[in-house]
């Protein structure tokens, strides 16, 4: 039986969720942050799940209107400060991935603070992908190895990535069928699930159903049954 040890989610559909209710897009991001909490708590109570890697802000999301970007940065800062207690309560270790050098000093300090304060937690690892893009991650890894005397191996490259763990189950909410530069190397053999539900409407029960379906899939990794 398959085990969904590493689940990655492209949390998409916040803006549309808000617009459908005649609200501003940012209201969708606020609602989406609550779902992050619900899904993280659910995963932390499921010992089979070791890692949950959530796409929160992509290297391409800087193209959005300045006010939306600023709102997302503030929301992230408040979310992390408020959730610290929840991380600790649920024994969740927080590990950001992505190039956070682009963020403000305040936000970087909050990210480091939560990372340090949860470093001893040995339950679920929750990674938020922050200013993350797979191509950017691969380029940074390749550049760090470019002076290597030996030929680069897959293991060497993987060790330099922000996320060093293969994804078992990759979910995208919001109805689109694309990866939007997310965990391209790590998802080489991931099972992909695309659901129409907009992220703010996604519930722990929806994840549970996907995990049940995932469990029944025959994963061959290029081999035979
Ligand atoms: C995903 O929701 C959250 C982020 C990219 C930060 P969107 O903001 O992309 O919502 P839609 O896709 O426009 O509905
Ligand atoms: C992907 O969603 C990024 C995050 C969920 C953070 P986008 O809404 O940015 O993706 P595209 O632009 O539809 O591909
Ligand atoms: Mg979107």
CATH of the domain at 63: 3.40.1180.10
Determine the pLDDT at residue 45: 98
Domain range for 148: 6-215
Give residue 9's pLDDT: 99
Distant-in-sequence, close-in-space partners of 88: CB < 8 Å, separation ≥ 6: 117, 118, 121
| 45 is annotated as an active-site residue | no
Residue 162 is assigned to a structural domain of this protein: yes
Cβ–Cβ under 8 Å, residues 120 and 92: no
Give the whole-angstrom CA distance, residue 45 versus residue 153: 36
Please check whether residue 223 lies inside any domain of the structure: no
168 annotated active-site: no
Q: Whats the size of the chain, residue-wise?
A: 225
CA pair distance 81, 103, nearest whole angstrom: 16
Question: How many other CB atoms are there within 10 angstroms of residue 146's CB atom?
Answer: 8
Total domain count, the chain = 1
Whole-angstrom Cα distance, residue 61 to residue 29?
Answer: 13
**How far, in Å, from the CA of 55 to the mean position of ligand 1?**
10
CA distances from 70 to 19, 43, 143 (A): 19, 29, 30
pLDDT along the chain (225 residues), means of 10: 96 98 98 98 98 98 98 98 98 98 98 98 98 98 96 97 98 98 98 98 98 96 93
CA of 31 to the centre of ligand 1 (A): 12
Note whether 17 and 198 are within 8 A (CB): yes
Tell me if 188 is assigned to some domain.
yes
Choice from 10, 14, 19 to test ligand 1 binding pocket (greatest atom count within 8 A of CB): 14
The pLDDT value recorded for residue 1 is 84
Annotated catalytic residue, options 46, 61, 166, 206: 61
CA of 13 to the centre of ligand 3 (A): 5
Q: What are the pocket residues of ligand 1 if the criterion is a CB atom closer than 6 Å to any ligand atom?
A: 11-16, 57, 61, 72, 174
Contact (Cβ atoms closer than 8 angstroms) between residue 23 and residue 95: no
34 is a domain residue: yes
């Amino acid at each position: 039986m398959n085990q969904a040890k590493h689940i990655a989610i492209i949390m998409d559909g916040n803006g549309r969720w808000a617009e459908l209710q005649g609200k501003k897009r940012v209201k969708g991001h606020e609602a989406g942050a609550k779902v992050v909490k619900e899904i993280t708590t659910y995963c932390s109570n499921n010992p089979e799940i070791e890692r949950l890697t959530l796409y929160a802000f992509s290297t391409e999301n800087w193209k959005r209107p300045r006010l939306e970007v600023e709102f997302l940065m503030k929301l992230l800062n408040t979310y992390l400060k408020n959730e610290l207690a929840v991380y600790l309560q649920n024994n969740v270790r927080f590990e950001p991935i992505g190039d956070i050098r682009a963020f403000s000093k305040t936000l970087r300090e909050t990210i480091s603070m939560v990372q340090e304060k949860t470093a001893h937690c040995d339950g679920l690892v929750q990674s938020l992908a922050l200013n993350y893009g797979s191509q950017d991650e691969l380029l940074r890894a390749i550049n760090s190895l470019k002076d290597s005397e030996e030929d680069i191996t897959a293991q060497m490259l993987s060790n330099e990535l922000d996320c060093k763990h293969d994804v078992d189950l990759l979910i995208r909410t919001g109805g689109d069928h694309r990866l939007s530069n997310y965990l391209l190397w790590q998802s080489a053999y991931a099972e992909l699930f695309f659901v129409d539900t907009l992220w703010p409407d996604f519930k722990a029960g929806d994840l549970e159903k996907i995990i049940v379906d995932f469990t029944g899939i025959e994963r061959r990794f290029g081999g035979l049954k």
